């Protein structure tokens, strides 16, 4: 009886690990370069604030593998952040902070859950948000 219970627990744990690790950044980068296409066209501002310039570098290092260059999204991988759904009145800056710190369950798009992102401070995320907001404004998303 104990053996059956142990095997059952292991099967459930393995299934949970598979679900939680569905969207590893290394797989997303591979998918983008080989199979995925951008979901939106993004126009970059002619100049970025100092904070947004740092945010752009952090975004490229930590976010672009899934969300694509400049937040354009990737078909079958992750949504575009340069999109009306992510405008400040719908997804405030704190929602980005929480998504990075805690991960987020799928709710607007059919891409699965977003895992938390390791190695970023709140200040790092604030700079990324500055970058995203400036690019959004350039693309008519206020």
Residues 110-140 pLDDT 10s: 999 999 999 999 999 999 999 999 999 999 9
CATH topology of domain 2-138: Cytochrome Bc1 Complex; Chain D, domain 2 (1.10.760)
Model pLDDT, residue 24:
39
- Per-residue pLDDT at 30 exceeds 80: no
Q: Where are the domains of the chain?
A: 2-138
Model confidence at 2, in pLDDT bands (50, 70, 90)? low
Do residues 83 and 70 make contact, with C-beta atoms less than 8 angstroms apart? no
Choose the most confident range, by mean pLDDT, from 29-33, 57-61, 73-77.
57-61
Of 111, 62, 102, which is closest to residue 83 (Cα–Cα)? 111
Percent of the chain with pLDDT over 90: 73
């Amino acid at each position: 009886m104990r053996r059956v219970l142990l095997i059952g627990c292991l099967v459930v744990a393995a299934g949970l690990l598979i679900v939680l690790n569905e969207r590893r950044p290394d797989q997303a980068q591979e998918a983008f370069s080989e199979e995925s296409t951008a979901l939106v066209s993004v126009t970059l501002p002619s100049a970025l604030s100092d904070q947004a310039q740092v945010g752009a570098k952090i975004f490229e290092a930590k976010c672009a593998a899934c969300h694509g260059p400049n937040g354009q999204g990737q078909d079958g991988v992750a949504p575009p952040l340069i999109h009306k759904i992510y405008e400040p009145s719908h997804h405030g800056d704190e929602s980005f902070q929480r998504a990075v710190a805690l991960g987020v369950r799928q709710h607007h798009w059919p891409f699965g859950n977003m895992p938390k992102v390791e190695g970023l401070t709140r200040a790092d995320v604030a700079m990324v948000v500055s970058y995203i907001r400036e690019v959004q404004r350039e693309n008519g998303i206020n």
